[in-house]
């Protein structure tokens, strides 16, 4: 994702990537200097960025966000795999604008709204969620799947999550089946199945490549820069 963000920025006039940070960085990527994450304070001081775009892992993200908040740098976080709401985001948002999203696709934002409406309009229907990602993705289910599950529950749908089924496992009232698949280089697919005995509705989204997430993250970075400290949502970015 870091390389995708750098590539996407090269086609835009509203953002410039000044430095990349990684645990084991090359000297540069597409002309952008890259530095070690081991000395974040020095990197931030030297390059003086306006905003951090973070696609890393939970441990690295916590460190990055904390360091950038101390340096008065806004944060856009696309990292997933956290266990609930992170205290570091709440703390950072007291001093800088922080935008956290499980997915930066505009199509996924439309999917979230559509799923909420469908679940609300079809009370009592069974709901199943399937997500598919590349074979290197570490967290399961995906952050986007978790967001969909939260929205389904908030809309009155089932909220007892069953991760896959094996053996004698008849469906129970109030449960939602969650299925994660990992294969090849798939950028991301999500499908919500809503069904009763007479009909079924399938709502899905497929990302063709990681560029869609990079573009959305850069939209968020441009939007959040200069805002007041606080927590922001990607839905706010695309609503303007």
Cα pseudo-dihedral 148, 68, 66, 229, rounded to 10: -60
Q: Convert the pLDDT of each residue in 105-132 to its tens digit.
A: 999 999 999 999 999 999 999 999 999 9
- The Cα 199–Cα 188 span in angstroms is 26
41, pLDDT greater than 90: no
Tokens of 194: 């809503």
Q: Give the pLDDT score at 81.
A: 87
Q: Once rounded to an integer, what is the mean pLDDT over residues 59-88? A: 91
- The Cα 161–Cα 149 span in angstroms is 8
Tokens of 240: 């303007």
Kindly indicate the confidence band of residue 25, based on its pLDDT and cuts at 50, 70 and 90.
confident
- The Cα 196–Cα 192 span in angstroms is 14
Q: Examine the residue annotation and report whether 146 is marked as an active-site residue of this protein.
A: no
Q: How far is CA 149 from CA 110, 122, 235, in A?
A: 15, 16, 17
Question: Average pLDDT over the chain, rounded to whole?
Answer: 94
Q: Once rounded to an integer, what is the mean pLDDT over residues 92-99? A: 97
How do strand 175-182 and strand 188-195 relate by DSSP bridges? unpaired
- The Cα 88–Cα 86 span in angstroms is 5
- What is the DSSP annotation of the chain? -HHHHHHHHTT-SS-----EEESS--SEETTEEEEEGGGHHHHHHHH--SEEEE-S-HHHHHHHHHHHHHTT-EEEE-----SSS-HHHHHHTTTSEEEE-S---HHHHHHHHHHHHHHHHSTT-EEEEEEEE-TT--SSS-HHHHHHHHHHHHTT---EEEES--SS----TTEEEEEEEE-TT--EEEEEEEE-SS-EEEEEEEESSTHHHHHHHHHHHHHHTTPPSEEE-HHHHHT-
Angle between helices 211-224 and 106-121 (to 10 degrees): 90
Q: Convert the pLDDT of each residue in 145-186 to its tens digit.
A: 999 999 999 999 999 999 999 999 999 999 999 999 999 999
Q: Give the pLDDT score at 79.
A: 92
Which residue out of 133, 146, 190, 205 is catalytically annotated?
133
Q: Give the pLDDT score at 239.
A: 87
Kindly indicate the confidence band of residue 83, based on its pLDDT and cuts at 50, 70 and 90.
confident
The order of strands in the sheet holding 32-36 is: 20-22, 32-36, 28-29
85, pLDDT greater than 90: no
Q: Give the pLDDT score at 24.
A: 82
Read off φ and ψ for residue 185, nearest 5 degrees.
-110, 25
Angle between helices 58-70 and 40-47 (to 10 degrees): 50
- The Cα 21–Cα 201 span in angstroms is 43
Share of the chain above pLDDT 90, in %: 88
224, pLDDT greater than 90: yes
240, pLDDT greater than 80: no
- The Cα 58–Cα 84 span in angstroms is 11
Q: Once rounded to an integer, what is the mean pLDDT over residues 81-98? A: 90
Which residue out of 134, 137, 146, 205 is catalytically annotated?
137
């Amino acid at each position: 994702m870091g390389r995708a963000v750098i590539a996407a920025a090269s086609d835009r006039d509203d953002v410039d990537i000044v430095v990349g940070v990684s645990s084991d960085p090359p000297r540069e990527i597409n002309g952008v200097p890259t530095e070690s994450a081991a000395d974040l304070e020095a990197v931030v001081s030297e390059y003086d960025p306006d905003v951090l775009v973070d696609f890393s892992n939970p441990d690295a993200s916590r460190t990055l966000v904390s360091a950038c908040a101390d340096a008065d740098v806004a944060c856009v976080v696309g990292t997933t795999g956290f266990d609930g709401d992170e205290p570091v985001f709440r703390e950072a948002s007291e001093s800088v604008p922080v935008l956290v999203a499980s997915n930066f696709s505009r199509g996924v934002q439309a999917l979230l709204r559509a799923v909420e409406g469908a679940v609300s309009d079809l009370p009592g229907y069974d709901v199943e969620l399937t997500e598919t990602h590349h074979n290197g993705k570490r967290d399961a289910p995906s952050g986007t799947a978790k967001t969909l599950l939260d929205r389904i529950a908030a809309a009155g749908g089932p909220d007892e999550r069953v991760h896959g089924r094996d053996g004698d496992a008849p469906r129970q009232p109030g449960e939602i089946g969650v299925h994660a698949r990992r294969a090849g280089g798939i950028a991301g697919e999500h499908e919500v199945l809503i069904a009763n005995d007479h009909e079924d509705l399938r709502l899905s989204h497929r990302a063709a490549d990681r560029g869609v997430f990079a573009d959305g993250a850069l939209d968020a970075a441009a939007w959040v820069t200069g805002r007041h400290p606080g927590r922001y949502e990607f839905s706010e970015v695309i609503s303007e």
